Homo-oligomer: A and B are copies of this chain.
Amino acid sequence: MAFHHPIMTKDDLAAFLDREFPQLHIGGQTYFIEEVGPLSARMRMTYHERHLRPGGTISGPSMMALADVALYAAILAHIGPVALAVTTSLSFNFLRKPEARDLIGECRLLKLGKRLAVGEVSIYSEGRADVVCHATGTYSIPS
């Protein structure tokens, strides 16, 4: 299937996100696309004050946003920047307290259909092996 290989580079994607979702970067850019590959994408969220909860731990909503954008980037990389994909569901398991460092979101697409795309995202503290948060999500793809 053509869909199984990305048709946008990470630079294409970054430019698209900057243009279409400038609010992602309000207060300084913290989300960065690191890599796109066949049915996959990797996203970094840099450690930043506005993602924190008291005690220095990273907030749930910041991790949820990272998973959502990683999934979105992985899907767009494969279907192109034209499509207006919309999140229809997201599920999260919060497994461990993230450390005070960057988070990496590794997205793997499980299905890229004509109407629905489904993927999972494993979030790690940079340089660590344990998953701190695991997400699955579905996007609806307009015809």
> Which A residues contact B (CB, under 8 angstroms)?
20-23, 26, 50, 52-54, 59-62, 64-65, 68, 86-96, 110-111, 115-116, 118, 120, 122, 130-131, 134, 136, 138, 140
Cross-chain contact of A89 among B21, B86, B91, B130 (Cβ < 8 A): B91
Cross-chain contact of A21 among B21, B53, B140 (Cβ < 8 A): B53
Q: Tell me the minimal C-beta distance from A13 to chain B in angstroms.
A: 17
Q: Tell me the minimal C-beta distance from A18 to chain B in angstroms.
A: 12
A110 and B90 form a contact (CB under 8 A): no
Q: How many copies does the complex hold?
A: 4
Separation of A50 and B26 alpha carbons in the complex (Å): 9
Cross-chain contact of A110 among B20, B60, B87, B93 (Cβ < 8 A): B93
